[in-house]
Amino acid sequence: MSIKSDRWQNLLSDDSLWKSYNEYVNKWEKSIGSFLQFDADKTKGDSSSDGLLKGMPFGVKDNIAVKGFDMTCGSKILENFNCPYTSTAVQKLQGAGAVVVGKMNMDEFGMGSSTDNSALGETNNPWDKSRVAGGSSGGSAASVAAGQVPFALGSDTGGSVRQPASFCGVYGLKPTYGTVSRYGLTAYASSLETIGICAESTAITRDVFNTMKGIDNMDNTTVDYKPSGKDDTEIIAVLKVGENDLSEDVLNSYRVSQQRLKDLGYKLIEVELPTLKYVVPAYYVIATAEASANLARFNGIRYGLAQKGAETPSDLMQMSRNSGFGDEVKLRILLGTYVLRSGFQDQYYHRAQKIRTAILNDFNRIFEEADALMLPVFPTAAFRHGSSDLTQLQQKAADLYTCSANLAGLPALAVPSTIEKGLPVGVQFTAPAFEEERLFRISEKLEEIFPAQKPEGFSEEWKI
Partner 1 sequence: MKYQSFVGLEIHIQLISKTKVFCSCPNHFGDEPNSNVCPVCLGYPGALPSLNEEAVFKALKVCKALDCYINEKVIFDRKNYFYPDMPKNYQITQFESPFGVDGFFNLELDDGSIKKIRIHDVHLEEDAGKMIHDGYQSRLDYNRAGTPLLEIVTEPDLVAGRDAELFVQQFRQMVRYLDVTDGNMEEGSLRCDANTSINLPGKGLGTKTEVKNLNSSRFVNKALTYEIKRHGKVIDKGGEIIQETRLWDEKTSTSKSMRTKEDSHDYRYFPEPDLPPYRVTDVLMKEVEDSMVELPNDRKKRYMDDLKLSFDQAAFITGERKTADWFDSLLSIGSDANQAASWLSGDIQKILNKEDVLLENSPFIPKRIKELFELINDKKISNNIGKEVLQAIFKEDKDPSVIVKDKGLEQVSDSGAVEKIVEEVLAAHPAVVDAVRAGDDKQVGFLMGQLMKATGGKVNPQMAREIIVNKIKLDISGDSQSRDPKIIEKGSEK
Partner 2 sequence: MEKSELLKTAALAKLKLDEQEADKLAVEVTAMLENFSLMMEADVEGLEPTTQTLQQENRTRSDSPGSSNLSNDLLDRVPEREDRFIVIPNVI
Binding site for partner 1 (CB under 8 A): 63-65, 71, 73, 78, 81, 84-85, 87, 182-187, 190-191, 217-221, 289-290, 292-293, 296-299, 301-303, 313-314, 317, 337, 340-342, 345, 349
How far out from the chain centre does Cα 161 lie? 2
Please provide the DSSP assignment of 49-88 as one string: SSSTTTT-EEEEETTB--TTSB--TT-GGGTT-B--S--H
Which one-letter amino acid corresponds to residue 153?
L
Is 119 near partner 2 (CB under 8 A)? no
Q: Select the span of 15-23, 113-121, 142-150, 217-225 touching partner 2 (CB under 8 A).
A: 217-225
How far out from the chain centre does Cα 398 lie? 16
User: What residues between 424 and 453 interact with partner 2 by CB under 8 A?
Assistant: 433
**Count of CB atoms situated within 10 Å of the CB of 334:** 12
Cα(284)–Cα(278) distance, integer angstroms: 10
| Cα–Cα–Cα angle for 25, 28, 29, rounded to 5 degrees | 85
User: What residues between 365 and 404 interact with partner 2 by CB under 8 A?
Assistant: 392-393, 396-397
| Minimum distance from residue 339 beta carbon to partner 1 (Å) | 9
Cα(209)–Cα(413) distance, integer angstroms: 12
Per the CB < 8 A criterion, the answer to whether 66 and 47 are in contact is: no
Name the residue nearer to partner 2 (CB basis): 186 or 202: 186
How do 57-61 and 35-38 pair as beta strands? unpaired
Is 178 near partner 2 (CB under 8 A)? yes
Cis peptide before 136, with omega less than 30 degrees from 0? Answer: yes
| Minimum distance from residue 320 beta carbon to partner 1 (Å) | 12
Name the residue nearer to partner 2 (CB basis): 215 or 235: 215
Q: Select the span of 129-137, 139-147, 292-300, 417-425 touching partner 2 (CB under 8 A).
A: 292-300
| Minimum distance from residue 383 beta carbon to partner 2 (Å) | 19
| Minimum distance from residue 285 beta carbon to partner 2 (Å) | 6
Is 357 near partner 2 (CB under 8 A)? yes
| Minimum distance from residue 185 beta carbon to partner 1 (Å) | 5
**Those residues with Cβ within 8 angstroms of residue 441's Cβ, 6 or more apart along the chain or in another chain:** 231, 232, 233
User: What residues between 313 and 352 interact with partner 2 by CB under 8 A?
Assistant: 313-319, 321-322, 325, 327, 330-331, 333-335, 337-339, 341, 347-348, 350-352
| Minimum distance from residue 93 beta carbon to partner 1 (Å) | 16
Name the residue nearer to partner 2 (CB basis): 206 or 321: 321
Query: Contact with partner 2 (CB under 8 A): which of 136, 257, 299, 395?
Result: 299
Rg (CA), the chain: 21
Please provide the DSSP assignment of 335-403 as one string: HHHHHHSTTTTIIIIIHHHHHHHHHHHHHHHHHHH-SEEEEES-SSSPPBSTTSSS-HHHHHHTTHHHH
Query: Contact with partner 2 (CB under 8 A): which of 68, 121, 227, 281?
Result: 281
Which one of 44, 54, 61, 445 is the catalytic residue? Answer: 61
308 is catalytic: no
* Residue 210 contact partner, candidates partner 2, partner 1, none, CB within 5 to 8 A by sort of partner: none
160 is catalytic: yes
* Residue 280 contact partner, candidates partner 2, partner 1, none, CB within 5 to 8 A by sort of partner: partner 2
Which one-letter amino acid corresponds to residue 347?
Q
How do 235-239 and 267-271 pair as beta strands? parallel
How far out from the chain centre does Cα 129 lie? 20
Which one-letter amino acid corresponds to residue 149?
V
| Minimum distance from residue 158 beta carbon to partner 1 (Å) | 15
Is 84 near partner 2 (CB under 8 A)? yes
* Residue 187 contact partner, candidates partner 2, partner 1, none, CB within 5 to 8 A by sort of partner: partner 1
Which one of 136, 404, 417, 443 is the catalytic residue? Answer: 136
Nearest by Cα to 187 from 20, 373, 336: 336
| Cα–Cα–Cα angle for 272, 278, 280, rounded to 5 degrees | 110
Which of helix, strand or coil describes residue 445?
helix
Which residues are bridge partners to 70 per DSSP? 82
Name the residue nearer to partner 2 (CB basis): 238 or 352: 352
Which one of 47, 140, 160, 201 is the catalytic residue? Answer: 160
| Minimum distance from residue 182 beta carbon to partner 2 (Å) | 10
Is 285 near partner 2 (CB under 8 A)? yes
* Residue 2 contact partner, candidates partner 1, partner 2, none, CB within 5 to 8 A by sort of partner: none
Overall size of the chain counted in residues: 464
Give catalytic residue positions: 61, 136, 160
